[in-house]
Amino acid sequence: MWEKLQRSSVATPVVPEHVALASGAGFLLVAVATSARIPVAVVGGLLVAAALFVGPSAALGGTSGLVIHDLFRGAVGVGTLTLAVWLCVFVGLLAWFSPALAGGRARLSVRSPPRALRSYVVGTVVAGLYATAASAWVATVAGHERFYTAAADLLPGVLVAGLVGVAAIVTARRLGRAVSVPRATVGTRPGRLTTLALFVVGAAWLVGAIGTDLLAHDLGLFPTDIQLAYYVAGLLGTGSLVATVGSAVLLSVYRYGELAVVLSAPLAGVLSWVLVSLGRTRVQSPTPDIDFVNGGTDND
């Protein structure tokens, strides 16, 4: 997947002036939002949507703006890191998914707005899942926050990115600013099945890790596994299948739940990589896959 991402970033050049501009804008945005006590997720969501206009530079600019801002505040920390991870993963994946972002020269697809909208929304959902899970994972592993609270903080950002982006695309079309749709390199974007599979993996990662983390944290109220076992026996009884499975599951979560959350990222990463590789094999097969959900025939 990373190879793919790299390729997509080659296909979508990052323009230095854009990054510089975006850094300034990012700094201002973060500073203004901070002073106005706008939640960090909203700031992130806006920066993601900004990628529609300036391409992945938005993420880089936003991230550097954020770092500069936090440096000024003397508050660079895990919080800076997690938001930066969220932005970079989000926009990186979105650029890969969505042709509207692929040009890197402020291009909005109006030639085929439904497709652009569709690809943007699908891209936002899948990229948002990965970005939120990755960022929450970093917050957890860095000992900053629980996975579930970190994820809950950033999830609204996905919604913001989606809504603002959709609004931008629709508005651009209304204004009739017909801009040619950049053509992304064939095969750099995932096919429909791959997208679906990535959605499933991303959702399973995020939801699974939230649930596991939450349950492990709650079960942690039992100081020892003995007490948990007694509690579960009182709740489910003993001997039945439900009791056996239930207590085994709960004890496993109690003992290894937090470890599972830590291992969730490598697992999701490897799984995604495998899926993308499989997808590429399909794309490169003699029969072209014309069922791209998120670019459709634009691709060829």
Partner 1 sequence: MSDGKDRSPSPADVCIVGAGPAGAIMAYSLARRGHDVVVLDAGERYTQQDHHRRMEMWLRPDFEREAFWVDEARDRYSSTGDIFARLNKVRVKAVGGTSLHWDGNTPRLHEKDFEMESRYGLATDWPISYADLSPYYDLAEREMGVSGIDDNPHGPPRDSPYPLEGFAPSYSDELFREACDELGISMATQPKAINSEAYDGRSGCIGYGVCNACPSGAKYSAEVHARKAEAEGARIVDQVQVLAIEHDDDGDSVESVVYVTPEGTEYRQEADHFVVAAGGIETPRLLLLSDSDQYPNGLANSSGAVGRYLMDHPSVETRAVLDDPTWQNNIGWVSSRSDEFYDHEDPVPGSFHLTFGNNAASNSGGAQTRDPAMSQLLGAVGSVEDMAGLATDPFSQTQLGEDLELPTTDGPPYPVSIRGAGEMLPRAENRVTLDRSTTDTYDRPVPSIELSDSDHERETMAYCLEVQADIMDALGAEITGTLTLEDREMSSHHMGTTRMGTDPQESVVDEYCRTHDLGNLWIASSSVFPTGGANNPTLTIAALALRTADVIDEELR
Partner 2 sequence: MTDSKSTLTDTRDDLPSLSRRQLLAALGGAAVAAGGYGYGVGGGAGLTPGGGGDASDAPASDAHIETLTALAEAIYPPSMPVDESWIENRVFGRVEPQEGHFDQLVAAVEAVDEHARARFGGPVTALSPGHRRGVLHSMGATEVHPTADGTTAERVRFYLLGDLLYVMLTAPESSDLTGIANPPGYPGGTDVYKRGPGGDGQ
Nearest Cα residue to 147 out of 155, 139, 158, 159: 139
Task: Outline where the chain has alpha helix (H).
Answer: 2-11, 16-35, 40-54, 57-72, 78-97, 99-102, 113-141, 147-174, 192-219, 225-236, 241-283
**List 74, 143, 176, 223, residue binding partner 1 (CB under 8 A):** 223
Residue 116 in tokens? 């652009």
Whole-angstrom distance, CA of residue 129 vs CA of residue 265: 12
Among 5, 166, 200, 214, binds partner 1 (CB under 8 A): 214
Chosen residue from 37, 226, 239, 241 binding partner 1 by CB under 8 A = 226
Q: Is 227 in the site for partner 1 (CB under 8 A)?
A: yes
For position 230 contacting partner 1 by CB under 8 A, the verdict is yes
Measure the CA–CA gap between 212 and 206, rounded to whole angstroms.
Answer: 10
Nearer to partner 1 by C-beta: 20 or 214? 214
Q: Give the whole-angstrom CA distance, residue 290 versus residue 298.
A: 10
- Residue ranges in contact with partner 2 by CB under 8 A: 31, 34-37, 39-40, 69-70, 73-81, 138-146, 148-150, 152-153, 216-218, 220-227, 230-231, 255-259, 262
- Which one of partner 2, partner 1, none is in contact with 86 (Cβ closer than 5 to 8 A by kind)? none
Task: Give the one residue of 149, 203, 278, 289 binding partner 1; rule: CB under 8 A.
Answer: 149
Question: What is the nearest approach in angstroms of partner 1 to the Cβ of residue 86?
Answer: 19
- Using CB under 8 A as the criterion, which residues of the chain lie in contact with partner 1 when the complex forms? 148-149, 152, 214-215, 217-218, 221, 223-224, 226-227, 230
